Amino acid sequence: MKVIEVEGRTVDDATKKALAELGIANSSKINIEVIDEGKSGIFGFGVSRPAKIRLFYNTESKDIGDTIKEVIPNIINKMGIECRITDIKEGESKVYIELESKNNSGLIIGRQGKTLEALQFMVNLIVNHKTGSDKKIILDIESYRAKRERALRKMSKDIAFKVVKTGKPWTLEPMNPFERRLIHLTLQNDSRVTTKSEGQGIYRKVTILPKQ
Amino acid sequence: MNYKDLVDYMVKSLVDHPDEVEIREVEGEKSTILELRVTKEDIGKVIGKHGRIARAIRTIINASATKSGKRVVLEILD
């Protein structure tokens, strides 16, 4: 954060001077506090006073959107994959990124979304390291997130049906917290089965059991 | 495919001392080995809790190696 005080004929005049002095054109990164509005003498008589402002310039962090636009293509292109960002939505605590790749979205997603997850984790680390922000960045490509969610819901219902039929518990493959939560939520209103998570870290799995 | 470049970019963006990141690429017939060296203070930044960061780096390298069918191994030395 940089703070300077500038005088000018009017407040606008002082602001222009201050921006020129700092050599910045973008006024979105500054805050202005008016110390004195100034007073111009009437017809050259009376006392004229210059306007005085204090300007706060935020130098510390780069813009999160700009950093994302730089980091993501850099990583993915270095992987030998063509890809572009089609949309960025910045919310309170999250930033949603839509990616597009002509021929290689499968490679970007990876088996069970492993690569997309690793990329998302990496981009979060790098962008947060560079900007000091703590917003969560969420990557998506070809609506993979929505498709995976639908597939997981369907699968968990199918397996619940099987569990009820056979009376034997069924353990799913290891999943990340978000996906496990989705399974628990999908089946929480199913009175015939219960769900529980077992295992540590990346090996944590959901088991669907028949209710006694 | 330049795996060294990819790892170099990711690691240098993560650590506090990018100037002291060293990567050696050892090319074999079927596999490529990347030996990564960082300063002591930065080693946690490339490994992460329970090796989470190292695993993410490896997943990303392997995705880019899928096309060539080569195996790329990342070794973090200290």
Residues of B in contact with A103 (CB under 8 A): none
| Distances, alpha carbon B23 to alpha carbons A57, B8, B76, in Å | 39, 7, 9
pLDDT at A58 over 70: no
Tell me whether residues B9 and A78 touch, CB distance under 8 A.
yes
Regarding an ipTM greater than 0.85, the answer is yes
Instruction: Say what the pLDDT of residue A25 is.
Output: 65
Residue A196 bridge partners (DSSP): A207
Assign residue A112 a region (left: φ > 0; alpha: ψ between -120 and 50; beta: otherwise).
left
Q: Give, to the nearest 10 degrees, the angle between helix B3-14 and helix A64-78.
A: 150
Residue-wise pLDDT for A13-56, tens only, equals 888 888 887 777 666 667 788 888 887 766 666 677 888 888 87
Residue-wise pLDDT for A103-152, tens only, equals 899 999 998 899 999 999 999 999 998 888 889 999 999 999 999 999 99
* Average of per-residue pLDDT across B33-45: 95
Residues of B in contact with A115 (CB under 8 A): 59-60, 63
If one compares A3 and A197, the residue with the highest pLDDT of the two is: A197
> What's the residue count for chain A?
212
CA distance A147 to A163: 24
| Distances, alpha carbon B17 to alpha carbons A24, A70, A158, B2, B42, in Å | 29, 20, 51, 22, 7
Assigned token pair, A45: 């008589």
Mean pLDDT of chain A: 88
Tell me whether residues A122 and B10 touch, CB distance under 8 A.
yes
Instruction: Say what the pLDDT of residue A116 is.
Output: 96
pLDDT interval class at A64 (50, 70, 90)? confident
Instruction: Say what the pLDDT of residue A15 is.
Output: 83
pLDDT interval class at A180 (50, 70, 90)? very high
pLDDT interval class at A181 (50, 70, 90)? very high
Q: Is A78:B9 a contact under the CB 8 Å cutoff?
A: yes
- β pairing state of B31-37 and B22-27: antiparallel
Ordered domains of chain A (ranges, CATH): 2-57 (no CATH), 64-142 (3.30.300.20), 146-210 (3.30.1370.50)
Angle in degrees, CA A52, A56, A60, rounded to 5: 160
Tell me whether residues B13 and A130 touch, CB distance under 8 A.
yes
Task: Look at the block and give the residue holding tokens 């960025």.
Answer: A88
pLDDT interval class at A60 (50, 70, 90)? low
Instruction: Say what the pLDDT of residue A94 is.
Output: 92
Tell me whether residues A107 and B66 touch, CB distance under 8 A.
yes
If one compares A178 and A22, the residue with the highest pLDDT of the two is: A178
Residues of B in contact with A201 (CB under 8 A): 50
If one compares A85 and A43, the residue with the highest pLDDT of the two is: A85
* Average of per-residue pLDDT across A193-208: 93
Q: Is residue A82 helix, strand or coil? A: coil
> What's the residue count for chain B?
78
Assigned token pair, B4: 């060294």
Instruction: Say what the pLDDT of residue A8 is.
Output: 85
Mean pLDDT of chain B: 92
pTM over 0.80: no
